[in-house]
Homo-oligomer: A and B are copies of this chain.
Amino acid sequence: MAQRHLDPTDPVADPSPELFEPGGAPTADALAGYLRAQATQFLRALRLHRENGGHAAGGTEESVDAARALRRSARRISGSLHTFRPLLDEAWSEELRPELAWLSGTLAREHACQARLERLLLALHRLSPRTGVAAGGRAAATVPVPQSAEGGRPGPPAQPAAVDRGNLTVGAAKAGALLERQLTLARTRAHSTALQALGSSRFHAVADKVAVLASDVPLTPVAATADLRPLAAAAEERLTDAVATLPLVTAGSPYNAEALVHGLSPDPDPHPQDAPWHQVRLLLRLHRYAREVVEGADAPVDVRLLTAGQALDRHRDASEAATAAAAAARTPRIAPATAYALGVLHADQRHEVEAARFAFQQSWQKQAVGAG
């Protein structure tokens, strides 16, 4: 294996402030320092997770935070291995990367189910304010339910057409209950899977590798004289190339009705038009991590990059929520009113998708103007 192990006792490996001096080219030492720091974060988060009863369904607040920190470090390590590939031992890197992706993916699923449920219940609440759609379950705490809905009454006392009109509100309540049932089940399953993963020998192998990384980064010989910036620039270029393929002119024209096109087609799951946006989201993240490596922890946050990233997160969340609503509507033997409410909800989330694309276009345009 052609590599140079950096030892923490070796003074060269110590990420000292001068690595990030203005004008000084960031070197492989900056990368090694970043990877060691992220590996240390990973191990700390893992310890916290174990100490805070990560086994309880849903988990304590601390264990949720610890799982988030675990994912955060895993993504950064994995992303850096990808962007700075030529500087790291290839066999080691190609072994660790998919394992980190498996781990962060597995840990993300429980959180995603919970967030999706909260998003959908909030949307139902906005669409049908008198309905106690969030009366039960964990999400109730985040959704304010008006007093009048607590009795489960669909509206004011009976009037000639009250049954018909109330029907839709009952539909919203039933849709909420159905989504809560399905997504809580999915969350519980994701939780079990995550627990199994964290107890598996596969995970222990990853943790061992990360523990070694915390002190010992396997750099290649070329790393000694390498400048990180061309590799970081290549990551940025992959991002801008991917953005260039997005339909940004359409996205920047409000109410283009593009996101709901084919909304009732036989293949709504996953929505093929969303894929390039998801791809840009991942590339934007890699670019952000590369900037962290090159510019150091004290570098100012690029607000426009952050805003663009948030728009793409919202795009992904709304896309998946819309898919969940459509999936719930395929549950056998549901009432028409429930299906109707799920249809409204699906379309609502697809419009959130469109709104997120518009927000991305706006922030990206600002960025280009600011940079040019």
Instruction: Report which A residues bind B (CB closer than 8 A).
Output: 124, 126-131, 154-156, 162, 164-169, 171-172, 254-255, 257, 260-269, 326, 329-330, 334-348, 351-352, 354-355, 358-359
- Residue from B130, B261, B358 in contact with A265 in the complex, judged by beta carbons closer than 8 Å: B130
Q: Which partner residue on chain B sits nearest A326 by CB separation?
A: B168
**CB-defined A-B contacts under 8 Å, sample of 9:** A127-B263, A154-B266, A168-B268, A168-B326, A169-B265, A172-B264, A329-B336, A341-B343, A343-B347
- Residue from B168, B264, B337, B348 in contact with A127 in the complex, judged by beta carbons closer than 8 Å: B264
In Å, the complex CA distance between A342 and B338 comes to 12
* A355 B264 Cβ-Cβ under 8 A: no
* B355 A257 Cβ-Cβ under 8 A: yes
In Å, the complex CA distance between A263 and B261 comes to 20
Given known A-B contacts A128-B264, A336-B335, A346 and B348 have beta carbons under 8 A apart: no
In Å, the complex CA distance between A340 and B329 comes to 7
CB neighbours of A266 from chain B (8 A): 130, 154-156, 162, 165-166, 168-169
* B343 A339 Cβ-Cβ under 8 A: yes
CB neighbours of A124 from chain B (8 A): 264
- Counting chain B CB atoms within 10 Å of each CB, the highest count among A130, A165, A168, A260 belongs to A168
CB neighbours of A167 from chain B (8 A): 330
Cβ-closest 7 pairs across A and B: A343-B343, A347-B347, A254-B254, A255-B355, A128-B264, A336-B339, A155-B266
In Å, the complex CA distance between A184 and B248 comes to 40
CB neighbours of A255 from chain B (8 A): 254-255, 351, 354-355, 358-359
* B263 A128 Cβ-Cβ under 8 A: yes
* CB of A201, distance to nearest CB on chain B (Å): 33
* CB of A124, distance to nearest CB on chain B (Å): 7
In Å, the complex CA distance between A352 and B168 comes to 21
* B341 A338 Cβ-Cβ under 8 A: no
15 additional contacts, CB 8 Å, given A168-B326, A254-B255? A126-B257, A127-B264, A128-B263, A130-B266, A162-B266, A168-B264, A168-B266, A168-B330, A172-B264, A255-B351, A257-B348, A257-B355, A260-B351, A335-B336, A339-B339
CB neighbours of A265 from chain B (8 A): 127-130, 168-169
* A351 B347 Cβ-Cβ under 8 A: yes
In Å, the complex CA distance between A264 and B120 comes to 14
* CB of A331, distance to nearest CB on chain B (Å): 8
* CB of A353, distance to nearest CB on chain B (Å): 10
* CB of A371, distance to nearest CB on chain B (Å): 24
* CB of A176, distance to nearest CB on chain B (Å): 10
In Å, the complex CA distance between A338 and B338 comes to 11
- Residue from B127, B172, B262 in contact with A129 in the complex, judged by beta carbons closer than 8 Å: B262
In Å, the complex CA distance between A266 and B167 comes to 8
- Residue from B128, B257, B346, B359 in contact with A344 in the complex, judged by beta carbons closer than 8 Å: B346
- Counting chain B CB atoms within 10 Å of each CB, the highest count among A164, A263, A337, A342 belongs to A263
Q: Which partner residue on chain B sits nearest A362 by CB separation?
A: B254
CB neighbours of A257 from chain B (8 A): 126, 348, 351-352, 355
- Residue from B127, B155, B156, B342 in contact with A340 in the complex, judged by beta carbons closer than 8 Å: B342
In Å, the complex CA distance between A171 and B338 comes to 14
* A261 B330 Cβ-Cβ under 8 A: no
* B165 A267 Cβ-Cβ under 8 A: yes
